[in-house]
Structure 1
Amino acid sequence: MRVIGLMSGTSHDAVDAAAADLVLDGDTVVLAPLGLVSEAYPEALRSALSAALPPAATTMRDVCALDTRIGQAFAALAVRADRELCEGRADLIGSHGQTVYHWAEGGRVHGTLQLGRPAWIAEATGRPVVSDLRTRDVAAGGQGAPLVSLVDALWLRGRPGVCAALNLGGIANITVVAGAGDPLAFDTGPANALIDAAVGDLTGGRLDHDADGAMAARGTVHEPLLERLLAEPYYALPAPKTTGKELFHASYLRAGLAATGPVPDDDVVATVTELTARTVADAVRKAHATEVIASGGGTRNPTLMGALRRELGPIALRTSDDLGLPAAAKEAYAFAVLAFLTAHGLAGTVPSCTGARHASVLGSITPGRHGLGLPAPGRPAPSRLEVFRR
């Protein structure tokens, strides 16, 4: 089955589409990557999305407009991915949508909202679409995140030692896989969220991220600010747990700066970069990991990766590219796999990772132009994911 996975993360800067040939071979999902295409959100759409995210107020009209425009952006990229990566022969599309709110209170997730209605994708491509992948896990008592943990567990099972898959998006999350034991997954805290927020604030919106970690590299970590940020109660919560930009946003950072006094711009960026490295490394050490496999946009920040390597010390750090999955595309490939599992009637969650009462088949299916032609049910649940390198 040829599947396209669509993804826009908490940095909400672009939509990624990764295509793969996927087959079930006994208890193994075999994934052959076909490539990645990306498109930045139009500036007007990104600005409107940023203006509507917490802690900002918004209106139902704005939410409806965002839902439509995001759906159309996803649809346009899906058409391109089908043409350029799949030779017009895609069978299925999995769309994560754009997370705009993850309702977490009192250690529980009560709801989650992703915008980008799948009807726009199905109409534009003619292909069936699996979407709304997080809500079923939340309904089963889970955190709804990190949702790629099943894919990580299948992919890394059997590696020596204790392996941690690390995603450095807006929020950082890890999946810890150790031998035959149950995997563990959770959000460690911010990855790029506070770095991007700091850069945007400090440059008056002229820049939206720290390109190549240049600002952080010029700065010096401000210890009082770092200590204040490290006092955030979220870090002490037990796993499984999840967080998002509902907590880690520009106003959150401003409150920390207000309590510590003026800090030079580059030092602020250096400090929040160190915060990400420190909190990720703390979580990895507590999980007794012996190896970290990193992916996501944060892997392109050499200052962040250098800080993380220093904080991890003897724990090996490499990127998912080394194992055949491009670091920039790994999450999009993961959502292609989850859509593939849903089409086969197979569960896409691991209760030990999300905290759900049971594993669930994820998402809703929007028929394509010619209805639905799903595989026959009754296949055994996979226990491994193998990446086929061409």
Structure 2
Amino acid sequence: MPGDTTPWTVIGLLSGTSCDAVDAAVGEFRFAPADGGGGEEEIVLRPRGLHTEPYPAGLREELMGVLPPARVTLEDVCRLDTALGRFFGTVAAGAVAGLPDGRADLVASHGQTVHHWVEGPRARGTLQLGGAAWIAEATGLPVVSDFRTRDIARGGQGAPLAAVLDELLLLDGSTGRGALNLGGIANLTTRDAHGAVIAYDLGPANALIDAVAAEASGGAERMDTDGARAARGRVDGVLLAELLAEPYYRLPPPKSTGKELFHAGYLRDRTAGRPVAADDLAATVTELTAELVAAACRGHGLTELVVSGGGVRNPVLMDRVRAAAAGTRVVGSEEHGLPAQAKEGYLFALLGFLTVHGLAGSVPSATGATVPSVLGSVTPGAGPLRLPGPRARRPVRLRIEN
């Protein structure tokens, strides 16, 4: 393990709710004195690149086959946990091999969420697959995994965990900026009128858009590439109004959701008896996401929205977000030093770095937990596990050093 002031090279592994690929974000992290003295520290991150591997077709089919609302066996879950762990290990090892010195210190793996158990306003449990031991075997490195469970055990949602990175990097004390991630689910981080950090899942983003493309193409399309279907279609105003009436949207934060609610069957149920052309359905669910984002911008009085996640690659979705949220400046996270596609990978790299230093990675005002938590479980690598001593104080900011 590196010493107290030596940079750590951390691999942040992420497979999101769109289930299209595994991202390995590589970053160097170190502590440094914060400006202003007083003994405060900041974390300095030097991004070292993003390594992405699409899922092999067979493995993705196996993964999609266990996602809600599918019924599965424990054998299915066991086999998939092993297969994902092996694939994550291959991706992490490839990311390490691609470094000039061929070495890293830690892997932080989110795993693949297959179920997020929510009842009304409470999260009851969560399950991410991708056994950490396989990653440790493939890389020889210690692995931090299972980031969400501890927060749920303390009364939180276990999501969105992006609040800690957003607070340290983007929310500089003002109440006018928000951070939006457009993954399978859209989530937002900002400050409330009292300056407290809040974060919550707005609702679907790519989850329903991807579902429309997959259903319309018989599974040949994983997503609405470049928003082509939405661009050809017309928004069905009646259906949009029905979708916006979803009770989840009226729940106060903190709150979280996932494909347990927003999946292809959800759309089939709401279009039963009145078929909607696939391209019109794509346009409608794209507009749904834009309307949810715009409503949040208005509700929080946001003047700037910093956007990341796979949804930024959909120009139609981004155009609709900008139009619906007119009056809010919409920018990519690149403007603040992190590539939009890699931001979540760096989030989990940061969380792993915090964990091994005994620092909390959760923000209770965002997740709803009673107290902050050091997140995750640590699996040893090839050698004995030696962790540094815990830091005395929480860092006050994250600074990007390119």
Q: Normalising TM by the smaller chain, what interval?
A: over 0.9
**Aligned AA for 1:142?**
G
What is the rounded CA distance, in whole Å, between the counterparts of 2:193 and 2:379 in structure 1?
37
What is the rounded CA distance, in whole Å, between the counterparts of 1:349 and 1:233 in structure 2?
27
Q: Any residues of structure 2 matched to 1:10-29 within 5 Å, and which? A: 10-26=17-33, 27-29=41-43
Once the 2 structures are TM-superposed, how far is the Cα of residue 106 of structure 1 from its aligned partner? Answer: 2.1
In the alignment, is the contact (CA less than 8 A) between 1:157 and 1:179 conserved in 2? no
1:9 alignment counterpart: 16
CA deviation string 1:91-149 (max 9, x = no partner)? 11100000000000021000000000100010111100000000000001000000111
Can you give the 5+ residue segments of structure 2 that lack an aligned partner in the other structure? 1-7, 34-40
1:275 alignment counterpart: 288
CA deviation string 1:40-70 (max 9, x = no partner)? 1111111011111111100000000000000
In the alignment, is the contact (CA less than 8 A) between 2:171 and 2:190 conserved in 1? no
1:245 alignment counterpart: 259
Query: Structure 2 residue aligned with 1:300, among 313, 330, 333?
Result: 313
What is the rounded CA distance, in whole Å, between the counterparts of 2:336 and 2:395 in structure 1?
19
Once the 2 structures are TM-superposed, how far is the Cα of residue 270 of structure 1 from its aligned partner? Answer: 0.3
Check if 1:131 corresponds to 2:145: yes
What SS does the corresponding residue of 1:221 show, helix, strand or coil?
coil
In the alignment, is the contact (CA less than 8 A) between 2:174 and 2:191 conserved in 1? no
What is the rounded CA distance, in whole Å, between the counterparts of 1:105 and 1:229 in structure 2?
20
1:70 alignment counterpart: 84
What SS does the corresponding residue of 2:65 show, helix, strand or coil?
helix
1:116 alignment counterpart: 130
What is the rounded CA distance, in whole Å, between the counterparts of 2:391 and 2:216 in structure 1?
55
In structure 2, the CA distance between the partners of 1:161 and 1:149, relative to structure 1 (3 Å rule), is: closer
1:330 alignment counterpart: 343
1:176 alignment counterpart: 190
What is the rounded CA distance, in whole Å, between the counterparts of 1:117 and 1:51 in structure 2?
19
Query: Structure 2 residue aligned with 1:354, among 348, 367, 371?
Result: 367
Can you give the 5+ residue segments of structure 1 that lack an aligned partner in the other structure? none
**Aligned AA for 1:31?**
L
What SS does the corresponding residue of 1:386 show, helix, strand or coil?
strand
**Aligned AA for 1:256?**
R
Check if 1:258 corresponds to 2:272: yes
In the alignment, is the contact (CA less than 8 A) between 1:143 and 1:242 conserved in 2? yes
TM-score normalised by L of structure 2: 0.94
Query: Structure 2 residue aligned with 1:309, among 303, 307, 322?
Result: 322
1:365 alignment counterpart: 378
**Aligned AA for 1:297?**
G
Once the 2 structures are TM-superposed, how far is the Cα of residue 159 of structure 1 from its aligned partner? Answer: 6.5
What is the rounded CA distance, in whole Å, between the counterparts of 1:179 and 1:55 in structure 2?
38
In the alignment, is the contact (CA less than 8 A) between 1:19 and 1:86 conserved in 2? no
2:177 alignment counterpart: 163
CA deviation string 1:337-382 (max 9, x = no partner)? 0000001000001100000000000000001111212222233111
Q: Any residues of structure 2 matched to 1:90-101 within 5 Å, and which? A: 90-101=104-115
Query: Structure 2 residue aligned with 1:234, among 240, 245, 248?
Result: 248
CA deviation string 1:180-200 (max 9, x = no partner)? 821110000001000000111
What is the rounded CA distance, in whole Å, between the counterparts of 1:244 and 1:179 in structure 2?
27
**Aligned AA for 1:17?**
A
**Aligned AA for 2:381?**
G
What is the rounded CA distance, in whole Å, between the counterparts of 1:371 and 1:34 in structure 2?
27
In the alignment, is the contact (CA less than 8 A) between 1:162 and 1:178 conserved in 2? no
What is the aligned-residue identity percentage? 56
What is the rounded CA distance, in whole Å, between the counterparts of 1:46 and 1:87 in structure 2?
32
Q: Any residues of structure 2 matched to 1:7-86 within 5 Å, and which? A: 7-26=14-33, 27-85=41-99
Q: Any residues of structure 2 matched to 1:161-240 within 5 Å, and which? A: 161-177=175-191, 181-240=195-254
What SS does the corresponding residue of 2:196 show, helix, strand or coil?
coil
Check if 1:376 corresponds to 2:389: yes
In structure 2, the CA distance between the partners of 1:86 and 1:5, relative to structure 1 (3 Å rule), is: farther
CA deviation string 1:255-304 (max 9, x = no partner)? 11115x12222111000000011111112221221110000000000000
**Aligned AA for 2:374?**
V
In the alignment, is the contact (CA less than 8 A) between 2:200 and 2:254 conserved in 1? yes
Once the 2 structures are TM-superposed, how far is the Cα of residue 160 of structure 1 from its aligned partner? Answer: 5.0
In structure 2, the CA distance between the partners of 1:179 and 1:286, relative to structure 1 (3 Å rule), is: closer
Once the 2 structures are TM-superposed, how far is the Cα of residue 327 of structure 1 from its aligned partner? Answer: 0.3
Once the 2 structures are TM-superposed, how far is the Cα of residue 179 of structure 1 from its aligned partner? Answer: 9.2
CA deviation string 1:204-233 (max 9, x = no partner)? 112121000011011110111111111100
**Count of aligned pairs:** 388
In the alignment, is the contact (CA less than 8 A) between 1:158 and 1:179 conserved in 2? no
Once the 2 structures are TM-superposed, how far is the Cα of residue 177 of structure 1 from its aligned partner? Answer: 3.5
**Aligned AA for 2:25?**
A
What is the rounded CA distance, in whole Å, between the counterparts of 2:174 and 2:100 in structure 1?
35
In the alignment, is the contact (CA less than 8 A) between 1:35 and 1:85 conserved in 2? no
Once the 2 structures are TM-superposed, how far is the Cα of residue 161 of structure 1 from its aligned partner? Answer: 4.9
CA deviation string 1:5-54 (max 9, x = no partner)? 00000011110000100011132111100000110111111101111111
What is the rounded CA distance, in whole Å, between the counterparts of 1:179 and 1:157 in structure 2?
13
In the alignment, is the contact (CA less than 8 A) between 2:20 and 2:222 conserved in 1? no
In the alignment, is the contact (CA less than 8 A) between 1:128 and 1:371 conserved in 2? no
